[in-house]
Structure 1
Amino acid sequence: MAGTPALAAGPRRILIVSDAWAPQVNGVVRTLQAVVGELRAAGDVVEVIGPDRFSTMPMPGYAEIRLAIAPRRRLRRLVDAFAPEALHIATEGPLGWAMRALCRKRGWRFTSSFHTKFPDYVHARTRIPKAWSWALMRHFHRPSSATLCATASLAAELRGRGFAHVVPWSRGVDLRKFNPDAGAEPEPWEGLPRPIFLVAGRVAVEKNLEAFLALDLPGSKVVVGDGPQRAALMRRFPDAHFAGWRENGRLARSYAAADVFVFPSRTDTFGLVLLEALASGTPVAAYPVTGPLDVIGEAAVGALDEDLRSACLRALGADRAACRAHAAQFSWAACAQRFRDSLVPVAASQGGSIP
């Protein structure tokens, strides 16, 4: 970002445009909600434009995710009404592309963020070559003054794929909501054989849940969440316990009452659930990939192994107090400050255009 002026200190009008927003439930939405809350508490005026303000259609394969239909005209009116001093495009969906086009037309600067490895997801579902999708992602983010991503390892990967102006932007966890005492009462898994191996998140092919459910493990396997693969996986793995969505305090109790949190995904860019489980005092078992490597690394708060079964069994011996202490290093306040520090004024450059 050399040569690009940062947003001045003091309260500012910050606009975030995102195809992922409430009532969706996922890591992108939770991240944005937490960051918006921190920015507003610090005095910034923050507006989020999401699909809830437009006519929408269901995303293919994810009926619960709604995508804005032909959003450009209404988006332009909403943007002009707010008159942002800084602008962030959070996603590469219809709203993201529409906002990008408006910025290009007006010569506005903006920042963006890379949350999801869509090339991997698209390839898994359609077999479209990953190189095509990566080229599209590079094209989307190329005009951005800064492309924020969740971890240092992901930043290195994106740079290696030709992305410019990549900025690591870590995540946080609500230590009040997710804590070891949350599982004390009531016991969510009463009657299930111990130990409890828990996963939480969208039940979809990209989360690689089959790798977890097929493991030969003692005790019980529990899946918290819902999604397009749930019915098929319930039929294939009848011994597993599928709990559906558990939000608010019920999710926190689920983490705290488990013995090991298992994260079988190989494609997530961070995994907020890792921090939520650790804050609840529950150790993590995962593959040594982007996300777990960045959150856990060499810390003795679980186990990372290409043999996921071995990781699960080793994680049983982790110190739960150490898990909580490790999670306490991640704060939403620091996450929000990093986000704000990366913002730039929307005012056009002297040349009047974006390269």
Structure 2
Amino acid sequence: MRIAIVTDAGQSQINGVVNTLRATSACLRHNGHEVLLLSPDDFPTFACPTYPEIRLAHKPYARIAASLKAFGPDCIHISTEGPMGLAARRFCLRQGIGFTTAYHTRFPEYLSARSILPKALTYRWLRWFHGPSKAVMVPTPHVLKELEQRGFRHLVLWGRGVDTERFKPVDEDHACIVRPLYLYVGRVAVEKNIESFLQVDLPGSKWVIGDGPLREELQQRYPDVQFLGAKPHHELTSYYNCADVMVFPSHTDTFGLVMVEAMACGVPVAAYPVAGPLDVVAHGRSGILDEDLTSACQRALALDRREVREHALEYSWEYATQQFQQHLFQIHGVKARPNNLLAGRSRPASGL
């Protein structure tokens, strides 16, 4: 099959959406599918408001339409709700083409945390965006239930995986580290609730890997914390393996891919018992979930790192991609038929 994926996450960004689409595209190609990944990397861009390091595509409709027509996809998947996603949605509706979408990010909570828009208004807009989608793919059962309660339709599960050959226990030189070492990996932004981690009184050391709008302010306020900046994805294994506990203070993530990567390295997770960690962490086996983050960090130290990795091995990109493929097959009623979505289009084909 020819599968077109449209995303607003540029491939130079460091986040879970980019890593998910990169791994999924690789698995799809390995399974014999042809994949077109359209991202802002090949478009004129402008800085995202409040996130200037993130670049969004400027007026991408014409080029997206031309690219999709030239590619002749069997399936179109819209991964994000930004300018690229809006343009692809508009194209599909104009052409009478069925499409799928994904819910990767809790934008209502993010925007509310930054006092930009109330959650109710953002959820209303998201229901409009995803309304025509034949399948809205969400990462965990908790997120699916939450969106159902908010009036979303056509929700299906699409899980996540981890490259257990890349993320695995390795020997590191720990001589200079004051133990125990508590590690945070992710954006340094208000919606990640990172200050809940920085404020807790813990013996040992704290490292923060990542960048974002709060980094400079928090670096000044917490001089004892090591802020190491953003790191390429392939370098994270070394940092995970230095850590005693991976701390994940977010209340708003839909999945939290970094937790699975850390666990694959044998590093237990300390987190709040909220959607994301509740679906990803096996409490008492691969991490500790507690409303008291200090207690969670301390109790996580006692977990068996071999058991932690064993839990992470349950997540594979191959299985996650099978879920993704199955939703496409079911929605489009396709059996690897060639280039049928854009051939002589005047109305939706049967099965859409």
The bucket for the TM-score relative to the shorter chain is: over 0.9
Q: Secondary structure at the match of 1:198?
A: strand
Matched, 1:83 2:72: yes
Give, in angstroms, the shift of residue 75 of structure 1. Answer: 1.1
Residue 157 in structure 1 maps to residue 146 in structure 2: yes
Q: Which amino acid aligns with 1:63?
A: P
1:333 counterpart residue number: 318
Q: 1:13 aligns to what?
A: 2
Q: 2:179 matched to which residue of 1?
A: 194
Match of 1:42 among 10, 19, 31: 31
- 1:267 is aligned to 252
Look up the equivalent residue of 1:101 and give its one-letter code: R
Alignment of 1:144 onto 2:133? yes
Q: Find 2:190's aligned residue among 197, 205, 220.
A: 205
Going from structure 1 to structure 2, the CA distance change for 1:202 and 1:145 (only over 3 Å counts) comes to same
Residue 285 of structure 1 corresponds to: 270
Partner of 1:9: none
Match 1:116 to one of 91, 100, 105: 105
Written as runs of structure 1 = structure 2, the 5 A alignment for 1:31-110 is 31-110=20-99
Seen in structure 2, the aligned counterparts of structure 1 residues 281 and 153 have a Cα distance that, compared at 3 Å, is same
Q: What amino acid is aligned across from residue 109 of structure 2 in structure 1?
A: D
C-alpha offsets along residues 192-247 of structure 1, whole Å, 9 cap, x if unaligned?
Answer: 31000000011111111100000000101110111111100000100101111222
Task: Give the 3 Å change call, closer, same or farther, for CA 122–328 of structure 1 in structure 2.
Answer: same
How far does residue 60 in structure 1 lie from its aligned partner after superposition? 1.3
What's 1:227 paired with?
212
The answer (yes or no) to whether the contact 1:263–1:286 under 8 Å persists in 2 is: yes
Task: Note the residue ranges of structure 2 that are not aligned, 5 or more in a row.
Answer: 333-340
In 1: Cα distance, 2:175 partner to 2:280 partner: 30
What do you get for the CA RMSD once the two structures are aligned? 1.8
Distance 1:56 1:269 in 2: 27
CA distance, structure 2, for counterparts of residue 75 and residue 50 of structure 1? 10
Q: Any idea what the Cα deviations from partners look like across 1:103-160, whole Å, max 9, x if unmatched?
A: 1111100000000000011111124211000000011001000000110110000111
Aligned to 1:4: none
Partners in 2 of 1:180 and 1:192 — Cα distance? 17
Question: Contact 1:108–1:354 (CA<8 Å) still a contact in 2?
Answer: no
Runs of 4+ in 1 over 4 A off after TM superposition: 346-355
Identify the residue that residue 252 of structure 1 maps to in structure 2. 237
Q: Is the 8 A contact 1:109 1:354 kept in 2?
A: no
Gaps of at least 5 residues in structure 1 are 1-11
CA shift, 1:297, in A, is 3.9
The residue matched to 1:318 in structure 2 has which SS? Answer: coil
Q: TM-score, normalised by structure 1?
A: 0.92
Distance in 1 separating the partners of 2:319 and 2:298:
33
- Counterparts of 1:243 and 1:128 in 2: how far apart (Å)? 31
Tell me how far 1:298 sits from its aligned partner: 3.5
> Structure 1 residue 353: deviation in Å?
11
CA distance in 2, matches of 1:211, 1:311: 12
Distance 1:351 1:69, change over 3 A: closer
The match for 1:130 among 119, 133, 139 is 119
Mapped to 1, the partners of 2:349 and 2:3 lie a distance apart of: 21
Q: Distance in 1 between matches of 2:61 and 2:123?
A: 25
Residues 199/312 of structure 1: CA separation in 2 closer, same or farther (3 Å cut): same
Cα separation, 2, equivalents of 1:18 and 1:293: 27
Q: Would the alpha carbon gap of residues 78 and 127 (structure 1) be closer, same or farther in structure 2, given more than 3 Å must change? A: closer
What count of residue pairs does the alignment treat as equivalent? 340
Which one-letter code corresponds to 1:290 in the other structure?
Answer: A
